[in-house]
Amino acid sequence: MDINSDAHTQHISQQFNAELEEVRNSLLAMGGSVEKQVSDAIRALIDADSELGKQVRKNDDQINAMELSIDEECARILARRQPAASDLRLVIACSKMSTDLERIGDEAAKIAGHAIELTEEGEAPKGYIETRHIGARVRRMVQESLTAFARFDTEMALRVAQEDKSVDLEYQSAMRELVTFMMEDPRSITRVLNIMWVLRSLERIGDHARNIAEHVIYLVKGTDVRHIGLKRMKEEVMEK
């Protein structure tokens, strides 16, 4: 191989790495925007700030555009660079994670919609404390799943998956309480339903954060850990 072709190969490979880096950065940027959407949606609800709620709904278009652009980048890299091994897994994982982030964005927009309705109806019903608490937890899950991705940190990813299970339990107990409250005070039905939909969205956001965490483990370890249960997931992560 002569020097020229060597230089050419090196150039190609630098460009390839730059492209992989770019798609990774795009995903992290989308993650940052989605995280903000989630925290703004919860704030709109708790502060009864319908202006902020409207802003969140409006911003959802940008999140959708980011998803399309990341998928386009991924398809272009697959077509031109034909990545293998861990590079391929990175591209596949980014494409899957963009879908989860977009869905988190959708749920944030739904929460914002309920925040607007609740604000227009006036006084806050019971259930706000649970919403605030579960909201803070899933927001942290989203944040940590993205940090796990940024650092390729599988142990942090595992913690996100474990957290999801405990959030699900808290969600179920909050829902039971809300049902009781509804039965005791049927006049509150519409408003309590709004809170229930919010909780459902928060629980879904937790699921998507868990999905992202699972993609991080796949991309680092090369093992698909979806549907295998937390015990086996832990074994996969802890295996050297």
Provide the binding-site residues for its own copies, judged by CB under 8 A: 61, 64-65, 67-68, 71-72, 74-75, 78-79, 82, 84-85, 88-89, 92, 95-96, 99, 179, 182-183, 186, 189-190, 193, 200, 224, 226-227
Tally the C-alpha atoms within 13 A of residue 81's C-alpha that lie toward its C-beta.
23
Q: Please report how close the Cβ of residue 183 comes to its own copies at its closest, in angstroms.
A: 5
Instruction: Name every residue whose Cβ is closer than 8 Å to that of residue 166 and which is 6 or more positions away in sequence.
Output: none
Q: Please, are residues 216 and 192 in contact by the beta-carbon 8 Å criterion?
A: no
Residue number with CB closer to its own copies (7 or 75): 75
Residue number with CB closer to its own copies (75 or 238): 75
Residue number with CB closer to its own copies (1 or 79): 79
Q: Please report how close the Cβ of residue 99 comes to its own copies at its closest, in angstroms.
A: 7
CA 190/CA 139 separation, integer angstroms: 26
Tell me how crowded residue 147 is: count the other CB atoms within 10 A of its CB: 16
Q: Please report how close the Cβ of residue 3 comes to its own copies at its closest, in angstroms.
A: 28
Q: Please, are residues 135 and 42 in contact by the beta-carbon 8 Å criterion?
A: yes
Residue number with CB closer to its own copies (65 or 230): 65
Q: Please report how close the Cβ of residue 2 comes to its own copies at its closest, in angstroms.
A: 26
CA 229/CA 55 separation, integer angstroms: 38
